[in-house]
């Protein structure tokens, strides 16, 4: 009986770990934010800067991958989505990009870029980059880049799986942070702020203390790790581009 249980565990555990690795990786990355607040005394501006840089990295990687996906976008009208796409391959080792993808992705990437820049600019101005970025912040950004590159590799590059994808498949990954931001605002930040405001009204509490920041960061980290574990290529998250 014990031997059978061990065999079941050995067969089941690898699959469970594969399915939960995005969730675990997301927890680790968000735990790094908490460590940064406690150990490295990151400010709210530094946390906001890291989060916005993460969004920019996600958009840059997945918008780029979308250019190489040859399959048509479902339910889109137009002659460009009928038949074989027109490839453009300036460098032989790099897969071809497609003109219809450039048009489809370009407008949405431009809009996302303008929005990210509009939000990031005041944060960067408040932060002041004249003295450079602290090593701890740089390591956090490097961890984000590494994590997102593994996702690009697993979903689009490994076994040349991009050949079976459409640009909308890649762009769903790029727009997940928008869904995430909506959920954070309405289901974490807003209710936590209301609770803390009530506590402040009845008790003498400093809302600028790092302990209060952790009240935000812990549920934010759990929610972001859960969203990061969802697969946009399935029905876990559905984003329409029509």
Kindly state whether residue 238 falls inside one of the protein's structural domains: no
Q: What is the pLDDT of residue 215?
A: 83
Kindly state whether residue 241 falls inside one of the protein's structural domains: no
User: Which residues of the chain have a pLDDT value below 70?
Assistant: 1-22, 75-80, 82-83, 127-131, 204-208, 235-238, 240-242
Kindly state whether residue 189 falls inside one of the protein's structural domains: yes
Q: What is the pLDDT of residue 15?
A: 46
Q: What is the pLDDT of residue 66?
A: 92
Domain of residue 85 covers 22-229
Q: What is the pLDDT of residue 58?
A: 92
The pTM of this model reads 0.79
What distance in Å separates the CA atoms of residue 47 and residue 55, rounded to the nearest whole number? 13
- Cβ(223)–Cβ(187) under 8 Å? yes
What distance in Å separates the CA atoms of residue 44 and residue 22, rounded to the nearest whole number? 25
CA angle 126–129–131, rounded 5-degree value: 120
CA angle 101–105–108, rounded 5-degree value: 160
Q: What is the pLDDT of residue 76?
A: 67
What distance in Å separates the CA atoms of residue 147 and residue 232, rounded to the nearest whole number? 16
Q: What is the pLDDT of residue 60?
A: 92
Sequence-distant (6+) residues with CB within 8 A of 175 are 112, 239
Question: Which CA distances in Å does 211 have to 35, 62, 172, 196, 203?
Answer: 12, 35, 35, 12, 15
| C-beta contacts of 75-83 below 8 A and 24+ residues apart | 75/242, 76/104, 76/242
Number of domains in the chain: 1
Kindly state whether residue 131 falls inside one of the protein's structural domains: yes
The b/e string for 11-28 (b: 16+ C-beta within 10 A; e otherwise) is eeeeeeeeeeebbebbbe
The per-residue pLDDT for range 57-72, each reduced to its tens digit, is 999 999 999 999 998 8
Kindly state whether residue 217 falls inside one of the protein's structural domains: yes
Q: What is the pLDDT of residue 125?
A: 79
The per-residue pLDDT for range 17-27, each reduced to its tens digit, is 455 666 777 77
Question: In the structure encoding, which two tokens stand for residue 138, read together?
Answer: 């740089």
Kindly state whether residue 29 falls inside one of the protein's structural domains: yes
- Cβ(59)–Cβ(109) under 8 Å? yes
Kindly state whether residue 51 falls inside one of the protein's structural domains: yes
Q: What is the pLDDT of residue 78?
A: 61
What distance in Å separates the CA atoms of residue 199 and residue 197, rounded to the nearest whole number? 5
Kindly state whether residue 58 falls inside one of the protein's structural domains: yes
The b/e string for 162-173 (b: 16+ C-beta within 10 A; e otherwise) is beebbbbbbbbb
């Amino acid at each position: 009986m014990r031997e059978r249980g061990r065999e079941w565990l050995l067969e089941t555990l690898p699959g469970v770990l594969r399915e939960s690795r995005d969730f675990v990786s997301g927890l680790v990355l968000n735990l790094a934010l908490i460590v940064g607040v406690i150990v490295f005394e990151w400010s709210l501006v530094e946390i906001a800067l890291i989060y916005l840089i993460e969004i920019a990295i996600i958009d840059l990687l997945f918008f780029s991958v979308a250019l190489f996906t040859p399959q048509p976008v479902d339910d889109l009208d137009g002659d460009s989505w009928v038949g074989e796409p027109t490839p453009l391959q300036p460098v032989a080792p790099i897969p071809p990009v497609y003109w219809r993808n450039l048009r489809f992705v370009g407008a949405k990437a431009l809009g996302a870029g303008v929005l990210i820049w509009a939000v990031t600019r005041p944060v960067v101005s408040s932060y002041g980059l004249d003295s450079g970025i602290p090593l701890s912040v740089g390591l956090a950004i490097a961890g984000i880049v590494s994590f997102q590159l593994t996702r690009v590799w697993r979903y689009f590059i490994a076994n040349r799986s991009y050949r079976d994808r459409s640009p909308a498949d890649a762009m769903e990954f790029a727009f997940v942070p928008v869904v995430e931001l909506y959920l954070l605002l309405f289901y974490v930040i807003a209710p936590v702020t209301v609770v803390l405001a009530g506590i402040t009204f009845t008790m003498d509490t400093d809302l600028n203390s790092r302990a209060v920041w952790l009240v935000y960061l812990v549920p934010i980290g759990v929610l972001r790790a859960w969203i990061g574990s969802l697969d946009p290529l399935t029905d876990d998250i559905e984003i329409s581009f029509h």
